[in-house]
């Protein structure tokens, strides 16, 4: 139970298991308790909850249906278009598109869902076998790298100082804990005044 920093998180996790996973074995419940689930990040948890419900009801868990209506894909695709405009702006001198902190925070939630899916895939590769996950992961990392660099450059321009480029290290499968080595936290994507360092918040 090292993932849980307070009684509220434990209560939320156990309440979910009692409601949705009541017929599961203790081993399955323990697996979920150790999974990188941000129980108090409701928009992200809602997507993860859909994945878990799929697992209970069928033998196949698909990522895209779970993130529908979250705005995750739409935000990523919007920033991908901005990346293309940005590359053209560098060559013709036009104004570069801006990145908002809200967009990056939403993509951070998307990243947490992808991390959860990959974590579960190591432990249940037959059920968590959506072939589109790897492509989405690569696209997400690319747009997050660009978004963080873009925001860093915008801040530097506003303040009249130079700041180093910020890049997100690719989320390689090797960074996701194997079954014999459970991880203690989900990688943080960005830090903001209202963003807690604990990925489960």
Q: Which of the listed ranges 11-15, 151-155, 184-188 does the model predict with the highest average pLDDT?
A: 11-15
Is there a contact between 113 and 98 (Cβ–Cβ < 8 Å)? no
3-class SS at 177?
coil
Answer yes or no: is pLDDT of 198 > 50: no
On whether residue 170 sits in a domain, the answer given is yes
Upper half-sphere CA count for residue 17 (Cβ side, 13 Å):
20
Report the C-alpha gap between 26 and 36 in whole angstroms.
Answer: 18
Predicted local confidence at residue 124, as pLDDT: 92
Least confident of 7-16, 83-92, 139-148: 83-92
Tell me if 110 sits within 8 A of 72, measured CB to CB: yes
Q: What is the pLDDT of residue 96?
A: 60
DSSP tag of 181: S
Higher pLDDT, 47 or 14: 47
Look up residue 201 and give its DSSP letter. Answer: -
Give me the DSSP letters along 109-159.
Answer: HHHHHHHHHHHHHHH-TTTS--TTHHHHHHHHHHHHHHHHHHHHHHHHHHH
Per-residue pLDDT band for 174 (boundaries 50, 70, 90) equals very low
191 domain residue, yes or no: no
Residue 122 inside a domain? The answer is yes
Domain contains 2? no
pLDDT at position 90 is: 59
| Coil, strand or helix at 85 | helix
Q: Which residue has the higher pLDDT, 93 or 140?
A: 140
Long-range contacts of residues 20-25, Cβ cutoff 8 Å, at least 24 apart: 20/49, 20/52, 20/53, 20/56, 21/52, 21/56, 24/56
Q: Is the pLDDT confidence value at 54 over 80?
A: yes
pLDDT band at 170 (very low <50, low <70, confident <90, very high): low
Residues 84-136 pLDDT 10s: 887 766 555 555 666 778 888 999 999 999 999 999 999 999 999 999 999 99
Three-state secondary-structure class, residue 200: coil
Q: Which domain holds residue 48?
A: 7-175
Is 171 among the domain residues?
yes
Query: Residue range 156-173: average pLDDT?
Result: 55
In a domain, 182, yes or no: no
Could you tell me how many residues make up the chain?
201
HSE value, Cβ hemisphere, 13 Å, CA-based, for 110: 27
DSSP H/E element including 19: helix 7-20
* pLDDT averaged over every residue in the chain: 77
Q: Is residue 155 part of a domain?
A: yes
The predicted structure's pLDDT at residue 28 = 87
Domain count, the chain: 1
61-90 pLDDT, tens digit per residue, is: 999 999 998 999 999 999 998 888 877 665
CA distance linking residue 49 with residue 51, whole number of Å? 5
Q: Is residue 134 part of a domain?
A: yes
């Amino acid at each position: 139970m090292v993932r849980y920093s307070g009684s509220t998180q434990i209560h939320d996790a156990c309440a979910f298991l009692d409601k949705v996973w009541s017929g599961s074995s203790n081993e399955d419940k323990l697996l979920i308790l150790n999974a990188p689930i941000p129980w108090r990040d409701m928009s992200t948890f809602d997507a993860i909850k859909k994945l878990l419900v799929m697992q209970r009801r069928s033998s196949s868990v698909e990522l895209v249906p779970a993130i529908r209506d979250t705005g995750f894909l739409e935000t990523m695709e919007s920033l991908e278009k901005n990346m293309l405009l940005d590359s053209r702006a560098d060559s013709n001198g036009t104004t570069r598109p801006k990145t908002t902190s809200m967009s990056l925070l939403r993509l951070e939630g998307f990243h947490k869902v992808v991390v959860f899916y990959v974590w579960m895939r190591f432990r249940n590769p037959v059920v968590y076998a959506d072939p589109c996950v790897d492509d989405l992961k690569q696209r997400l990392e690319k747009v997050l790298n660009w978004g963080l660099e873009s925001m860093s450059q915008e801040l530097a321009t506003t303040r009249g100082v130079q700041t180093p480029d910020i890049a997100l290290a690719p989320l390689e499968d090797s960074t996701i804990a194997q079954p014999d080595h459970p991880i203690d936290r989900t990688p943080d994507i960005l830090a903001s005044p209202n963003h807690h360092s604990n990925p489960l918040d």
